[in-house]
Structure 1
Amino acid sequence: MVAGTIPLIATTPGIKLLGPLPGDLQSTLTYTAVLMANTSQRDTAEGFIKFLVSPEAKEIFAANGAK
């Protein structure tokens, strides 16, 4: 038995996701996206960050086990 992130387990061939750990054993990861001050591709970076919080991205994350 192994514990790992649900998206990794759910998308790895040969591994079966049995379910999340009980609440007191569960932890969450929080990701933060920021633009680098001197980025040469500001528009591209801003577009990517906007995509990450879009309904489309949320559907993709959910389909891969992330909430």
Structure 2
Amino acid sequence: MLSDIDIANQASMRPIRDIVRELGIGEQEWEPYGHYKAKLNDKLWQRLRNQPDGQLVLVTAINPTPAGE
């Protein structure tokens, strides 16, 4: 079984511009933060308001203190 770091090292990141283009998100509906992440704005949510609900994906992170707390 592969460790988490082995799996992460095998993954390749895709530019966010390619992903939003593939998903049909308009240029005015998102703001890039570097090459691999973006912030989606309210224009997108307003456009999709009447669409059927999809699935929710939550992404979180915890940064421990130097003391390991």
Question: Greater CA radius of gyration, 1 or 2?
Answer: 2
Of Structure 1 and Structure 2, which has the larger fraction of its residues in strand? 2
Larger RCO, structure (CA 8 Å, separation 6 or more): 1
State TM-score, norm by structure 2. 0.25
Judging by fraction of residues, say which structure has more helix.
Answer: 1
